[in-house]
Amino acid sequence: MLKELEAYGLLAYNRSFKEMTTIKVGGAIKYYFEPNNMYGLTKAIEIIESKQLAYKIIGNGSNLLCSNKDFDGVVIKLNNLNHFEVNDNIMYVEAGVPIIVAANYAINNGLSGLEFATGIPALMGGIIYMNASAYNEAISDVIESVLVYQAGSLKWIDKADLYFGYRESSFQTNKDWLIMAVNLKLEHADSETLKALAIDRNQRRFRTQPFEYPNCGSVFRNLSDKPVWKIIDEANLRGLQIGQAQISEKHSNFICNLGQASADDVNALIEKTISLAKENDNIDLFLEVERFNW
């Protein structure tokens, strides 16, 4: 049905979200496609939409919780959109570049603005989509413009014409805007100082987050008046296990796959946490992780 996609990239069948997400759960995928480049992506979207098939664009799958249901559509992974370059202090980065790669390149070349991201296991497109942040810094702080594919054409959109908030962006409300690349405005700085800062932050991240198990990063968005981990701890949920999914002993805003967890196990922990936060403290928790195909 989709053989014509093979002219524009890698087409595969019967893959699984277990392979595509960092928490290693989820159902089967009917079609999987990796476009060779931006042109291949735009052609693929045209073909897929002409056949009225659903599609989902993913990066590293580090912020995704996919259901156990099979997905009768196309999952598109952008890892071949991997070009980046620097002109003075402007860094052009395509959507499939790992943010860790971009951040380390900037640091090694004496450019500041991406140190917050040296430990985030996501691609640039996902970072922009979620307006990822850490240490009171966000990707939106350094965005100059974003290259978007929409309605059959590519266009640069200035940051002034985009919305960014805490874990929010214009791309979440404009589902037909596909992030292709970004121009980042960085600042010249001493490379050794930046390296020391990045190393310190990464060491802190490894001390406090459960990298020893598959997970999907922070499950809930932080609240302004109280850390989410504290709310979870006060509900006595740290370490709670359902099936092979567990609220992390190391950081209770993480849910870990201890080996053979199902998406339903993970989701049950999420729903229990939401319910108890509301019941105990009348607090509404909001997901940071994206639930897909539920």
Catalytic residue numbers, as ranges:
167, 218, 288
Answer whether 105's CB lies under 8 Å from 84's CB: yes
> What residues does 33 pair with on adjacent strands?
11, 76
3-state secondary structure at position 67: coil
Nearest to 260 by CA among 19, 25, 17: 25
| CA atoms of 206 and 203, how far apart (whole Å) | 5
Give the CA radius of gyration of the chain.
Answer: 19
3-state secondary structure at position 56: strand
Half-sphere exposure of 242 (CA within 13 A, CB side): 15
Name the DSSP letter for residue 58: E
> Residue 11, Cβ neighbours under 10 Å: how many?
17
What does the block give as tokens for 25?
Answer: 């759960």
> What residues does 141 pair with on adjacent strands?
none
At residue 241, φ and ψ (nearest 5 deg) are -125, 135
| CA atoms of 258 and 245, how far apart (whole Å) | 6
At residue 188, φ and ψ (nearest 5 deg) are -65, 135
Q: Which H helix or E strand runs over 10? A: strand 9-16
